[in-house]
Each structure stands twice: as structure tokens, then as C-alpha cells.
Structure 1
Amino acid sequence: MIDAVGNPQSLLVLGGTSDIALTTARKYAENQPLRIILADRPEESERLNSAAEQLRKTGSEVEILTFDARKPETHAEVIEKAFAGGDVDVTLIAFGVQGDNEKGWTDFEAARAVADINYVAPVGLGVLLANKLKKQGHGSIAVMCSPAGERARRSNFVYGSSKGGLDVFYTGLTYALEEHGVKVTVIRPNFVHTKLTTGMKPPPMAQTPEQVADCIIDGVAKGKEQVYAPGQMRWVMTALRHVPRALFRKLPI
């Protein structure tokens, strides 16, 4: 359960080697030791083990689970294992791929990989989590979406389409779970300096994992349904949504 001052006692991270996710877990743990479940692919085991050791130094109890977004037949088992140790107060869905946009709209497998990892897997997990949290009667889900999903852009519409569908699903889940005492927070960070964006030119208002982690923790604590990182991106995207299509397609974005 969330304690009297808003600190969770348990955290499940799906995408447990994400720079943003690990920074968020560390910040939670430094504030107060808690039970942490890190779930990610077997090939990330070395990084997971290293992260777990660092988190245990805070006094937190850390468990590692094998999780692969592209193996949906295993997802129910992963969720069962995560909840087997007790209630889960906060779940952070933090896995995803950027993909190559040009390959994404010309290569079937490339397009499918982006769709499966960024949309299909988190939607299925959302259903599994919703069922668990309804029975639990409390808890929060924070999901990493993107402003890229708010309007199609020539430069990243494959990635944006997957994040747009994800955003709509979890935004709707905020309504569906409200009566059950469960909160859902959709996180929309601007460009973040992580291993996912290595080599890419950062735009204005680029964020660090620390800045986004602070937004996640604050948003979950306050029960916010939508969080932009930085907050100014809300107004940028509001403006861009109203730019006429003929003009928008000429913008260098």
C-alpha cells in the first residue's frame, strides 16, 4: 500500500534496464526502501543483476524476472510471478523501441517489431494488470508514451503510430479503472538522453532520465492522468495539433 506520505512499498518495472526506469527505481529506493521487481529480456541479465545490486544497497528487496515483449504467451506468467510476493503499488511500463522510420514503412518485419513491442505487448499487459489491480483495489500504472503519438510526422510516423495507439489505450484505462481505486498515468516525455536515442540529434527541451523520473514520481504521487516532461511540451503539442495540415507537413520536425 502507498504510505501516509505517498511512498509506494512495491514497484514493478517492465523494461527493467530502461535508463528512465532504473533512475525512477533508484529515486524511489533512495527516498524509502521498497520491494522492487525488475523484469526484462534474458540478454539483459548482466545489466539487470548490476542494477539489482545497486538498488539493494538502499535496503530495498529486489527480484529479477525474465520478460520479453515479443513473447506474449509468457506475459501472464510474468505478471503472476510479480504479484505472487504481495501487492504491487506502482507498475512502470518502460520498454520500447525507436526503430528506423524509413525501414519501418518499407519492411514488414521492421514495422511489425515496432508495433508488437510498443503497442501490442503493453496493451496485453495492461489487460493483465487491470485485472490484478481491480482485485487488489488499489495501485498505479505509469506508462511511457510520447508526444510523437499525438500527430503524425514524416520523420517518425511508424514509431509515433505505435505510441499513439498506446496512449489512447492507457488514457481510456484511466476511465475504466477509476471506480476500482486504480490510477493510470500516461507519461509523454520529450526527447530523452538515453541509450535508445544515442547518436540522435537532441531537439530543444531535451530531457535527462533524472528529469523524467522526477516527473513520473510526482505524477504518480498526485494521481495525474497525463504528464509531459518537461511540462512546457503540453503547450507545444497543443499548438502543433492546431497547425493546418498543409503547413504542418512542411515543418522540419
Structure 2
Amino acid sequence: MNNAINQPQTILVLGGNSDIARAIVAELSSPALKTVVLACRDEASADSTGFADHVKVATVTFDATDHAAHAPMIEAVAAEHGDLDVVIQAFGQLGLDVADDPVAAAQLATVNYAGAVSSGLAVAAQLRKQGHGTLVVLSSVAGVRTRASNFVYGSTKAGQDAFATGLGHSLHGSGASVMTVRPGFVRSSMTEGMEEAPFTIDAAVVAEAVVSGLKKGSSVVWAPAKLRGVFGLLKFAPDFVWRKLDS
């Protein structure tokens, strides 16, 4: 359970090698933090380095497409390490070249959306049982309004975002909560080599926004914050303008 000044003691990362998630953990780190659990598809690939010396780092196997395994895994982690104070849903794939491949597109949706649903519900059940804890969902501004250049990926993030915000409403009054995070383009290993978009930021900036949001009890966080206003306008831009911006 978070300590008296709302610092987490146990953090679970679904997608344990995510640069953004690891930056969030670093930003949340304090003397109160006892355990970080990294959940990766290949448990042996989990990078357990870079954490504070006093933090116990554990690893578990997590496959976003193995929906039946999600609830038992969450329950097992809580049974071994205690209540989960913060769970970061940070797995996902970009899938930039799947628009002409129906099978690959469906596989992307299975990871990014269906995996988010099954793992999110499993986490919510645990947090509701505890009566506290926050699920941090790394969504994307790509889901706010999909672009022709990555509309399959954007649609999966739109689904994940809608699910996360709805799940947050369903947990109201339980003591548990969901915070949906909408970053823009973030410099990371996933985006390495890609052309940067306007308002590009580093993972540390997302982490700062997330921790600030957790302290405030925010349900939605934009990173950088100015994207909230930008997309508030772009959502209503005429189609021809939107296509021009994507060209």
C-alpha cells in the first residue's frame, strides 16, 4: 500500500522493458519503494538493471495474447509481493506496415487492444479487492483521431483508450482508479530511426506528467500537456485538413 505521503511500495509493469514505463518507475522511486515486478513475454529478457539498490526486482512471464493467463498471473504476483500500488500497462506494438496485411493487422489488434482489455480487467479485479491502487494505461494521441499513415495502430489505441476511461468510471467508489496517459511522439527504442513529429518528447517528460497526475488523482494525462489543446482543435478539423497534416 502507498505510504502516508502517497508513495508506492509495489509496482507491476506489464511490458517490463518499456522505456516509458521504466522512466515512470524511476520518477516514482523513493525510499518507500520496495518491489518492482517486470512482466515480459520472455521473462529471461527482462532488464532488471538500473533500479535503486534497495528495490527488489522480480520478473514474471506475460504474453499479451495469452488472455487466459492474465488473471492468474496478476493474482500470483499479488500473493507473492503484496498489494499492487501502481500497475503500468505499457506493452504494445507499432505495426506501421500492416494496413495491407489483414492477418498482421488483426494480430496487432489482439496485442494492443484485446491484450489491454484482458489484462486491464484482471488488474482492476485485484485493485478492487484491495480497495486501492492505480492502473496507469499508456495510450496515445494516435487514438484521438486516426491518421491514414497509421490508422490500424491508431484504432487499437483508440480502443484501448476508450476501454481505460470506461474502466476508470466502473471503479469509481472502490478506492481503485485508472489513469489514461496520452503521449505524443516519444523518443524510445520503439521509435528509434523514425522521423520525429511536432512536440516530440523524451520518456522522462511522460514520467513527470504521470507522477504529477498520480499526485493530483487525474483520470487523464496528456504528454506534453499542450497536446490536450492541440487535439481539442484537431479533432474537429475538416477531413481535407487532417489528410494534409498527415501528408
TM exceeds 0.5? yes
How far does residue 23 in structure 1 lie from its aligned partner after superposition?
1.6
1:1-253 equivalence runs, <5 A: 1-30=1-30, 32-42=32-42, 45-46=44-45, 48=46, 51-57=47-53, 59-84=54-79, 85-100=81-96, 103-252=97-246
What is the Cα-based RMSD across aligned positions, in Å?
1.5
SS at match of 2:13: strand
Output one character per residue of 1:130-162: Cα deviation in whole Å (capped at 9) or x when no partner.
111111111101000011101121111110000
Q: Check the 8 A contact 2:205/2:223 in 1, yes or no.
A: yes
Q: Decide which structure has greater helix share.
A: 1
Q: Which runs of 5+ in 1 are unaligned?
A: none
> What is the letter of the counterpart of residue 200 of structure 2?
A
Cα distance in 1, alignment partners of residues 8 and 119 from structure 2 = 21
Whole-angstrom distance in 2 between the partners of 1:232 and 1:31 = 32
CA shift at 1:31, angstroms? Answer: 5.8
- Contact kept in structure 2, 1:9 and 1:35, CA below 8 Å: yes
TM-score, normalised relative to structure 1: 0.92
| Residue-by-residue CA offset, 1:38-57 (whole Å, 9 max, x unaligned) | 10011x624x2xx4243252
Q: CA deviation at 1:245?
A: 2.1
Q: Gaps spanning 5+ residues in structure 2: where?
A: none
Q: Deviations over 1:170-220 (max 9, x none)?
A: 111111101101111000001000111111111121111111111111112
1:126: Cα distance to partner? Answer: 1.2
CA distance in structure 2 between the partners assigned to 1:152 and 1:31 by the alignment: 42
TM-score by length of 2: 0.94
Secondary structure of 2:48's counterpart equals helix
Q: Secondary structure at the match of 1:234?
A: helix
